[in-house]
Amino acid sequence: MTIAQLRQLLRQTRIHMLAAVVGLPESLLQAPEAVGPYSVAQHMAIRIEAENRALTLAQSMLHGHPFTPALPRAELDRKAVLMRWGWDWDHLMRELYQQREETMWNLEDFAGAILHHKFYVHGQLLSPYDALAAVAEEERTLGDALWAWRARVGQDGPESF
């Protein structure tokens, strides 16, 4: 996969994820346990932090020194939620968009073979591509779950508003 293809994948999965919540009232976006233990807003806080970690990991690979987070994923997710506690939807969306802009801007740093060069990280071989493609996969999975949740709460799509 090329940088252009990765960029397109990230765009498509972000559109899929956010389309699932377009037009929903803030009360639903903040409702607890929409998908698993988190509200939609809390999931967005987690996505912001997860993308930031993935980009940082990819950049650390670029410099030959991949890092390993000191905490398990569940704890990192909890911290992401706590850091953004009380933020309104618009604030979360601004940070989500800013993080994606930073990711897209930095993709060119991975041009060439380094995009797929494997490093030993977290007990497995990963490339910068693997780290960033995981962001897209998690957004696709969350988007699917959000669409299912939306149907369960009787908000099948924008036409239901």
The string of pLDDT tens digits covering residues 94-103 is 999 999 999 9
The string of pLDDT tens digits covering residues 133-158 is 999 999 999 999 999 999 999 876 65
- pLDDT for the residue numbered 101: 98
> Is residue 26 pLDDT above 50, yes or no?
yes
> Is residue 11 pLDDT above 70, yes or no?
yes
Q: CB–CB of 17/142 below 8 Å?
A: yes
Q: CB–CB of 10/136 below 8 Å?
A: yes
- pLDDT for the residue numbered 82: 95
Domains of the chain with bracketed CATH: 3-156 (1.20.120.450)
State whether residue 126 is helix, strand or coil: strand
> Is residue 160 pLDDT above 70, yes or no?
no
Average pLDDT on 84-92 reads: 94
> Is residue 123 pLDDT above 90, yes or no?
no
Average pLDDT score, the chain: 93
Beta strands 124-126 and 119-121 are antiparallel
- pLDDT for the residue numbered 161: 35
Structure tokens at 11: 């765009």
- pLDDT for the residue numbered 27: 92
- pLDDT for the residue numbered 14: 98
- pLDDT for the residue numbered 155: 78
- pLDDT for the residue numbered 157: 60
- pLDDT for the residue numbered 95: 98
Question: What is d(CA 25, CA 11) in angstroms, rounded to the nearest whole number?
Answer: 24
Structure tokens at 18: 């956010």
Q: How many CB atoms lie within 10 A of CB 64?
A: 9
